[in-house]
Structure 1
Amino acid sequence: MTTATATAFTARYGGSPDGVWAAPGRINLIGEHTDYNEGYVLPAALPHTTTVAARRRADGVVRLFSAQGDGEVTELALDALAPGSVPGWAAYPAGVFWALIEAGHALGGADLAFCSDVPTGAGLSSSATLECATAIALDDLFGLGLDAPGRALIAQRAENAFVGVPCGALDQMASSCCVAGHAHFLDTRTLTGRQVPLDLPAVGLTLLVIDTKVKHDLGDGAYAGLRAGCERAAALLGVPALRDITIAELGTAEAQLPAELRPLLRHVVTEDQRVLDTVAALDAGEPRALGPILTAGHASLRDDYRVSCPETDLAVSAANAAGALGARMMGGGFGGSVLALVDTALLDTVERAVHAAFAEAGFGAPQTFTATPSQGAHRVS
């Protein structure tokens, strides 16, 4: 895709770019809706990436083009960028320019052209890839000296304050910081963690992603409402965040909350524990133990957090019935993708079963592909 991105750049702007950079989408093994509760997450980068070809400009103009867009170039004045001022997909890279300037970095204008094979609206962090690709490109172009976590926080700031989605740091940290062949165990409170080896093919296992093709929009208020509910619950319990409630304290804490907030607390506390249990299983060389953890995580997202939908529920049940060790929906919810842990020998069987179940239910055909833990954001040329 590097050549295609450079070609798209030249076709729109003339001449050659100063470089091409890539940022990957991500799967999240476990740890959903825990990041904005200062909890634990365990993502891995996908081989699917957003690439950006970029070139410095001598003026204060920013031009943005996406090969997956409407064919138009979005032109912006660097000194006129403000939250809410840029509509559509271009808000994500524009927000990175704004966040870097807000943080005190000296930037000039730039021309950027994007290409992506990360499915949009699939819970695989397509928006974060736009931000993180932009962040690493601008870091290199203008010699900002940022490290991978620093770029991730700039990208998160862009999405929170410029685009207006109050996401946690999971997606941007995953896209920026993951290492090939590993999952990234991250404490989102301290932003510290470690890389956990994840070589499933060596033990005959495969991670299967099932993109239901049901699109979601986290900017519609549902995500913000969930986060606000968690923050309200934490305030009522007198703790900085829900990650401070342990499994042992869960029953007592639930009794102190109004009925509508108890399921949110229950999901966050049990999901944090599922992350810790998953890391312990991987450290112990027992990756098959992840199966029941994934399925329990889906039940919690479906029944307590209530962010599933008929298509994701069907993908989970069909995969498990066909022999998957476990499965769960990923991402913010309201559509998107399902992750299934499958014996490699049963991969075709599980894929056929999911497609057949969708056809029988009258749903559109899902897209399936395997997930290989890959490299975080990097320069490719």
Structure 2
Amino acid sequence: MTTRTDVDDIAAAFTAHFGHAPDGVWSAPGRVNLIGEHTDYNEGFVLPFAIDRSARVAVRLRADATARLVSAYGNQGLVTVNLDTLSPGTMKGWTAYPLGVLWVLRQQGVALRGFELYLDSDVPLGAGLSSSAAIECATALAFDELLGAGLAPADLVLVGQRAENEVVGAPTGILDQSASLLATEGHAVFLDCRSRESTLVPLDLAAAGLLVLVVDTKVTHRHATGDYAERRASCELGAEVLGVASLRDVDAEDLAEAAGLLDGETYRRVRHIVTENRRVLATVDVLGTDGPAAIGDLLTASHASMRDDFEISCPELDLAVDTALANGALGARMTGGGFGGSAIALLPAAGEPTVRAAVVHAFAAAGFTAPDIFAVTAAAGARRLDR
């Protein structure tokens, strides 16, 4: 949770870099996807929640067309950009995330002004917790207010997604930005990615004596690389062969027929999406009736599907999941786009020391890089901090 001291520190860092105070400080959280992986761009269902780690931007508008950006990530130096020359091909490195948002706003008719921006974040990079979407959403919220764009949170979701797709080059859906912008404390966001309708689902882990433990494997993977795009292409091929607009339109009862129409790999990709959609819906139902302690088997089944059918896990993720389950977790799965990143484990709060120690020992015994392990809560979404 961001404190008043944190806000003051970010504003002070901005002032140290630029010589005057910012116009404001905005924050947007990273997310854990509780269940529903790769279903978003297939117009399916997802169930993420915002976490208590966030990206924060301090911003001040200028009277000219110059953008000056500084990031606390790795002590990045000052980057200066002329907004009049802004195009997808000119944005590189971390600045592609905030500048990509500005480019999209301009494409939508918002008149830009120059600015100074200081970025800080405690969302781990490359951990599958949407550090990039947190930056995009904090930036979008800040400039929507500063430039008087008047966009609704659901519109800002699409701004962030378009920046990710067209500027960063990652073919992601709306899951990450939706969690960051639409979440509230103590709830998950149940999102229908076709209609873009969202519902808040209670996720009061503390009241149930539970917590979600994140295991950041330190295996990084960027969504702009080929593996993610290949999975999306497989899903599109499956939908085309099956004659549907998207895999959202394929039911579990259709899988037997699909097996005879698709090659083995494409069929497995399709089967993951179809069964994952069913698991998301079941998880929402169970949370509403029996509470979070009863969803563990659904989380674990989701991991098996991602490991075997969608083939986006890795040895480190599998070890984290298996070790957590063997040491008292109610359920566990990888979370995020895959090929690295983080696993999550749902467990009784009292069991955290046991699971944490077991995972650390297992990684050491396997010769893997030591993981970063931390608990997360369902936190509030993007907001202005200095009011």
Partner Cα distance (1:183, 1:105) in 2: 31
Cα shift readout 1:286-327 (whole Å, capped 9, x = no counterpart):
322211111111111111111111100000000000010110
Residue 28 (structure 2) pairs with residue 43 (structure 1): no
> Mind listing any 5+ residue stretches in structure 2 that lack a counterpart?
1-5
Contact 2:70–2:78 under 8 Å retained in 1? yes
Match in the other structure for 1:129? 134
Does residue 191 of structure 1 match 2:185?
no
> 1:129-169: per-residue Cα shift (whole Å, max 9, x none)?
11001000001111111111111110100010111111000
**Which residue number corresponds to residue 209 of structure 2?**
204
* Structure 1, gaps ≥5 residues long: none
In 2, the alpha carbon distance for the partners of 1:84 and 1:373 equals 36
The reply to whether residue 151 of structure 1 matches residue 195 of structure 2 is no
Structure 1 residue 69 displacement after superposition: 3.6
Spell out, residue by residue over 1:270-296, the C-alpha distance to the aligned partner (whole angstroms, 9 max, x if none).
100010010000010332221111111
Residues 94-173 of structure 1: pairs in structure 2 closer than 5 A:
94-173=99-178
Alpha-carbon distance in 1 for matches of 2:348, 2:24: 40
Q: Which amino acid aligns with 2:355?
A: V
Question: How far apart, in 2, do the equivalents of 1:112 and 1:362 lie?
Answer: 41
Higher alpha-carbon deviation: 89-98 or 79-88:
79-88
Scaled by the length of structure 1, the TM-score of the pair is 0.98
Q: Is the 8 A contact 2:170 2:224 kept in 1?
A: yes
1:335, 1:360 → 2: CA distance?
19
Structure 1: which 4+ aligned runs deviate by more than 6 Å? none
| 1:83 paired residue number | 88
Q: Which letter maps to 2:12?
A: T
Matches of 1:226 and 1:77, distance apart in 2: 37
- SS of 1:341's equivalent in the other structure is strand
Identity over aligned residues, as a percent?
54
Corresponding residue number in structure 1 for 2:69: 64
Match of 2:338 among 308, 333, 336: 333
Corresponding residue SS for 2:53: strand
- Listed one character per residue, the Cα deviations across residues 83-140 of structure 1 (whole Å, up to 9, x for unaligned) are 1211111101110000000011122111110000000000000000110010000011
**Whole-angstrom distance in 2 between the partners of 1:380 and 1:254:** 52
Q: Which position in structure 2 is the counterpart of 1:259?
A: 264
Q: Partner of 1:185: helix, strand, or coil?
A: strand
Letter in 2 for 1:27: V
Report the CA distance between 1:70 and its aligned residue.
4.1
Residues 84 and 163 of structure 1 are in contact (CA less than 8 Å); yes or no, is this contact kept in structure 2?
no
**Equivalent position of 1:311 in the other structure:** 316
Q: Does 2:301 correspond to 1:301?
A: no
Taking only aligned residues, the RMSD between alpha carbons, in angstroms, comes to 1.0
Is 1:177 aligned to 2:182, yes or no?
A: yes
Task: State the Cα deviation string for residues 148-197 of structure 1 (Å, max 9, x = none).
Answer: 11111101000101111110000011111111100000001111020001
Q: Hey, what's the Cα distance between the residues in 2 that align with 1:61 and 1:266?
A: 49
- Please, which of 15, 20, 32 is the counterpart of residue 27 of structure 1? 32
Q: Is the 8 A contact 2:39 2:45 kept in 1?
A: yes
Of residues 327, 340, 357, the one that matches 2:362 is 357
Q: How far did 1:358 drift?
A: 0.6
How far apart are the structure 1 equivalents of 2:155 and 2:185? Answer: 20
> 2:328 aligned with 1:289, yes or no?
no
1:352 partner amino acid: A
Q: Give the aligned partner of residue 369 of structure 1.
A: 374
1:5-59 residue CA offsets vs partner (Å, 9 max, x unmatched) = 2122112111000000000000010000000100000000001010000001111
Contact 1:185 1:193 in 2 (8 A): yes
Deviations 1:328-378, CA, capped at 9 Å, x for gaps: 001111110111010112111111111111111111111111111001100
Query: For 2:54, what is the secondary structure of its paired residue?
Result: strand
Alignment correspondent of 2:3? none
* C-alpha distance in structure 2 between counterparts of 1:315 and 1:283, whole Å: 28
1:4 is matched by which residue type in structure 2? D
| Bigger Cα displacement from structure 2, 237-246 vs 279-288 | 279-288
Matched residue count: 381
Could you tell me how far apart the structure 1 residues matched to 2:259 and 2:133 are? 34
| One-letter identity of the residue aligned with 1:369 | F
The 8 Å contact of residues 171 and 223 in structure 2, kept in 1 or not, is answered as no
Once residues 295 and 246 of structure 2 are traced to their aligned partners in structure 1, the CA distance between those partners, rounded to angstroms, is: 26
Q: Is the 8 A contact 2:11 2:58 kept in 1?
A: yes
Name which of 323, 329, 347 aligns with 2:328: 323
Give the TM-score normalised by the residue count of structure 2: 0.97
Shift of 1:3: 2.4
Q: Which amino acid aligns with 1:146?
A: L
Preserved CA contact (<8 Å) 2:208 2:293: no
Among 17, 24, 43, which residue is 1:12 paired with? 17
CA distance in structure 2 between the aligned counterparts of 1:203 and 1:70, rounded to whole angstroms: 41
Q: CA deviation at 1:267?
A: 0.5
